[in-house]
Copies of this chain bind each other. A is one copy, B any other.
Amino acid sequence: MTTDPGPAMTSVAPMTPAAPMTARQEARRRRILQATARLAGRGGFDAVQMREVAESSGVALGTLYRYFPSKVHLLVAVMQDQLEDLHETLRKRPPTDEDPAARVARTLMRAFRAMQREPHLADAMVRALTFADRSVSAEVETVSRLTTAIILDAMGPAGSRPTALQLSAVRVIEHTWHSALITWLSGRASIAQVATDIETACRLIDPAGAVRRQE
């Protein structure tokens, strides 16, 4: 039953254009990502120190930098990893609400709960994501596409082309998601506040009569 392909999913191009890696290299890369996530799980962004990541994953500092050209690249890669897991999980048990907006909101709240379980890790990933400059835009773009895919999956029966209006809505929802996370992580917004913001943004999905859903 785990092989049930389920409903067709928004696909994300499996970007692996770089040179193929040997098993050893694959393993190194994975060790690095795990060590990073572990360190981030403790003190957040600041606790991820490149020397420590290198030592902790049994790799020389120079090698670490060959795999990930900067701390931000590294943390964005971790985020991509986590998002892929999340996408997988959501694919197995999608939200069942009637309303598309409600499904999206519930999906994001699930993701949010995951972050609450590891606030430090969330801090590291989200700070890296928003601090990233142009040199990381390709990687950030990948993360963004993944997020969009997750939202689109929650939104509509697969295959139905979203309207331009809906795509705009999705963009705003994504903006809200990132920025609300930041306010939460820096202690300027409560969990409830984030939940409200997400729901508010989701009202954009089907504008007609959306207000009524509140009660």
Which A residues, 173 to 188, have Cβ-Cβ distances below 8 Å to chain B? 174-176, 178-180, 182-183, 186-188
Chain multiplicity (copies): 2
Distance (Å) between the CB of A131 and the closest chain B CB?
5
Please tell me the number of chain A residues within 8 Å of chain B, measured between CB atoms: 41
Distance (Å) between the CB of A135 and the closest chain B CB?
9
Q: Which of B165, B179, B186, B214 contacts A134 (CB 8 A)?
A: B186
Q: A175 to B137, alpha carbons, bound, how many Å?
A: 20
Contacts of A183 in B (CB 8 A): 144, 175
Q: Mark contacts of A112-139 with chain B using CB atoms, 8 A cut-off: 1 yes-contact digit, 0 otherwise.
A: 0000000000000001001111101100
Is chain A's interface secondary structure helix, strand, loop, or mixed overall?
helix
Known: A137-B188, A176-B176, A187-B137. A210 touches B207 (CB 8 A): yes
Interchain CB contact under 8 A, B169 and A200: yes
Q: Can you give 30 contacting A-B residue pairs, CB < 8 Å? A: A127-B133, A130-B182, A131-B131, A133-B186, A134-B186, A134-B187, A137-B186, A140-B186, A141-B188, A144-B183, A144-B188, A168-B196, A168-B200, A169-B200, A171-B193, A171-B197, A172-B200, A172-B201, A174-B179, A175-B175, A175-B176, A175-B179, A175-B180, A175-B183, A178-B179, A200-B204, A201-B204, A203-B207, A207-B207, A207-B211
Residues of A within 8 A of B (CB): 45-46, 127, 130-134, 136-137, 140-141, 144, 165, 168-169, 171-172, 174-176, 178-180, 182-183, 186-188, 193, 196-197, 200-201, 203-204, 207-208, 210-211, 214
